[in-house]
């Protein structure tokens, strides 16, 4: 079935296109991109006057929970939440209870997602067996199964020697290693950022050095092994500086930041708000400013959701006993666009951080609008105003600290391979 989108403002950060265009879709791909006066015919025509069209977002970090943690969420519930928020590709992050040691486990994810297919799901395979940080996984088999990279999640490595061997093995298969930079001995089981707020609250804290030491170690190993490394969820000022230096020295590295780290600080934990219990922890205002600077100068390549849906009980306890994480799919796009309102990024650059930028990191053809590209598109109404109501979120997890926030602009329709998977 063919589809024609007329009179839309088409924004494609990958090519620099920003203007009124007509988009013709057939067979799940974009088959023509022309001036609005072009004469095309299709089975369905959408008059998108007043709307923007841009590539569907590519989210590098989503814990989708199924199989293994189905009581929190399912692939169907979370991919639909993604579609409702303009996200058309998700990277399934491995975690204890839901991770991928072999090809059969990866195939199961693809089979489960094929039933609903609200969004594409890509998989990060285990860097070590069971994420236990000791025995290396069979990366060659996982790559053949379709994994777009390898990660040990937030789980520690037995030793730096294990990490070194893992990076060497990944490099031989041209696989990107996704690293959560945490020196667990320094983190010491803390719950929030080490600073004045943690001292006042009396909560065990995590110094920013727990992250920056791990970044420095990994940079040294990246230089030694030649591995491609993606640094996940930066939160500290010095980490941004180290990544910037690493890029300047020619290392094959990239980095991302979770959207909430660009708007919240440890001050938001001052009332023991469990919805602000995240890992890495919310840090200081100076760290937040450095993350925004890193985005603006290209040190940080992508913004992700770090989506971690939880059941209600997971957040109903004293702060230290709650589970970390935010249900964040539905705030990735609106928070990213708020960076434009704040003057941090231009509109094309903001969209690049959630489309072409992350797509390049996982070597995906998504995240762009050109002839031949998959028709994973978002029709967006920039004039809409809305408020995030936790009770009406599409994700099974309602654990967001952004409830009651007002946002400008809303997704009107999401297309996946030319098929409408969400509309309002």
Tokens 């491609």: give the residue: 228
* Given the residues 12, 256, 301, 306, the one annotated as active site: 306
**What does the alpha-carbon distance between residue 187 and residue 191 come to, in Å, rounded to a whole number?**
9
**What does the alpha-carbon distance between residue 218 and residue 395 come to, in Å, rounded to a whole number?**
34
For 143, the enclosing helix (H) or strand (E) is: helix 139-145
Residues β-bridged to residue 385: 408
For residue 309, which of 126, 66, 83, 102 has the smallest C-alpha distance? Answer: 66
- Virtual CA dihedral for 182, 121, 113, 107, nearest 10 degrees? -80
Cis amide leading into 89 (omega within 30): no
**What does the alpha-carbon distance between residue 264 and residue 255 come to, in Å, rounded to a whole number?**
19
**What does the alpha-carbon distance between residue 130 and residue 98 come to, in Å, rounded to a whole number?**
9
Question: Strand 3-12 vs strand 228-231: parallel, antiparallel, or unpaired?
Answer: unpaired
For 219, the enclosing helix (H) or strand (E) is: helix 209-225
* Tokens at 112, concatenated: 């489960």
Asked if residues 177 and 227 have their Cβ atoms less than 8 Å apart, the reply is: yes
Q: What is the 3-state secondary structure (H, E, C) of 166-190?
A: HHHHHHHCCCEEEECCCCHHHHCCC
Asked if residues 213 and 219 have their Cβ atoms less than 8 Å apart, the reply is: no
Catalytic residue status for 389? no
* Phi and psi, residue 269, nearest 5°: -95, -5
**What does the alpha-carbon distance between residue 327 and residue 403 come to, in Å, rounded to a whole number?**
11
* Tokens at 305, concatenated: 């959701």
Strands of 253-258's sheet in order across:
57-62, 87-92, 120-126, 149-151, 176-179, 228-231, 253-258, 302-304
Q: What is the DSSP letter of 13?
A: T
The residues assigned a catalytic role are 306
């Amino acid at each position: 079935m063919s589809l024609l989108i007329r009179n839309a403002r088409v924004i494609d950060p990958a090519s620099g296109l920003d203007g009124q265009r007509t988009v013709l879709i057939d067979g799940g791909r974009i088959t023509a991109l022309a001036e609005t006066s072009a004469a095309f015919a299709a089975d369905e025509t959408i008059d998108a006057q007043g709307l923007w069209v841009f590539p569907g977002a590519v989210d590098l970090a989503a814990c989708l929970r199924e199989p293994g943690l189905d009581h929190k969420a399912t692939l169907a519930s979370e991919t639909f939440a993604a579609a409702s928020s303009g996200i058309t590709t998700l990277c399934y992050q491995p975690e204890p209870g839901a991770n991928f040691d072999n090809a059969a486990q990866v195939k199961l994810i693809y089979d489960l997602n094929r039933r609903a297919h609200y969004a594409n799901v890509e998989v990060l395979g285990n860097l070590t067996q069971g994420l236990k940080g000791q025995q290396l996984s069979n990366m060659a088999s996982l790559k053949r199964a379709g994994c777009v990279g390898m990660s040990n999640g937030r789980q520690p490595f037995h030793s730096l020697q294990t990490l070194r061997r893992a990076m060497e093995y990944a490099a031989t298969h041209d696989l990107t290693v996704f690293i959560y930079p945490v020196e667990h001995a320094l983190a010491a089981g803390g719950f929030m950022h080490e600073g004045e707020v943690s001292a006042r609250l009396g909560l065990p804290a995590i110094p920013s050095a727990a992250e920056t030491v791990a970044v420095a170690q990994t940079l040294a190993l990246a230089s030694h092994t030649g591995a491609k490394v993606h640094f996940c969820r930066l939160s500290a000022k010095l980490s941004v500086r180290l990544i910037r230096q690493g890029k300047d020295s020619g290392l094959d590295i990239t980095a991302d930041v979770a959207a909430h780290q660009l708007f919240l600080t440890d001050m938001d934990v001052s009332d023991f708000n469990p919805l602000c219990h995240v890992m890495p922890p919310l840090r200081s205002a100076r760290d937040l400013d450095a993350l925004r600077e890193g985005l603006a100068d290209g040190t940080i390549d992508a913004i992700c959701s770090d989506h971690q849906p939880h059941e209600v009980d997971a957040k109903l306890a004293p702060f230290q006993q709650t589970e970390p994480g935010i249900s964040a799919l539905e705030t990735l796009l609106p928070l990213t666009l708020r960076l434009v309102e704040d003057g941090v990024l231009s509109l094309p650059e903001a969209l690049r951080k959630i489309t072409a930028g992350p797509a390049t990191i996982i070597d995906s053809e998504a995240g762009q609008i050109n002839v031949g590209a998959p028709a994973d598109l978002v029709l967006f109404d920039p004039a809409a105003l809305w408020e995030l109501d936790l009770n009406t979120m599409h994700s099974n997890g309602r654990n967001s600290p952004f409830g009651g926030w007002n946002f400008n602009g809303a997704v009107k329709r999401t297309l996946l391979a030319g098929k409408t998977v969400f509309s309002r």
